[in-house]
Chain A
């Protein structure tokens, strides 16, 4: 069965520091991969999606970027974090169903 690994689970970072969140998928190949953000009291917002290695589509203008260096690896990055980047970040894969990882809680201080 498919498993999505996300790490770290919790992260506290100062404003202006860099960010790297990693997501890896097991049990499938050539999935579409997605990064979502959930801000406090709000629903989920799609940030990026990728249909293959090196292919990234951005849904909203923001301070973040994404990369897909391998088929089952999806990375969310920032060069300089803002306070508004705080939130709960979830990675998802569309194969075989739309499955989410356990998320990373990011607090920018």
Chain B
């Protein structure tokens, strides 16, 4: 059973370009969380999605950031018109349908560098 997969692992963009980060959850998992980690800091929650639904986006910046988890295919975190402050590691985590407390399993992350 493959773990959470993220691609690309590294992404370099120039200011103003778009960044698309992909996350494939573990098999059987229908819940995806996105977190951002700035250098030397902890992870910050961004958004929580189930298939075709955004459940909680309280941690998402109001502008330029969007996320989706379509019925088929990976979850995508999209950053439009990137700025240098978007440089960070973006982690996706997945968990099975909640039956109480479900562990979140993290992917290896995508390291975004904005030049």
B partners with A? no
Chain A residues within CB distance 8 Å of chain B: none
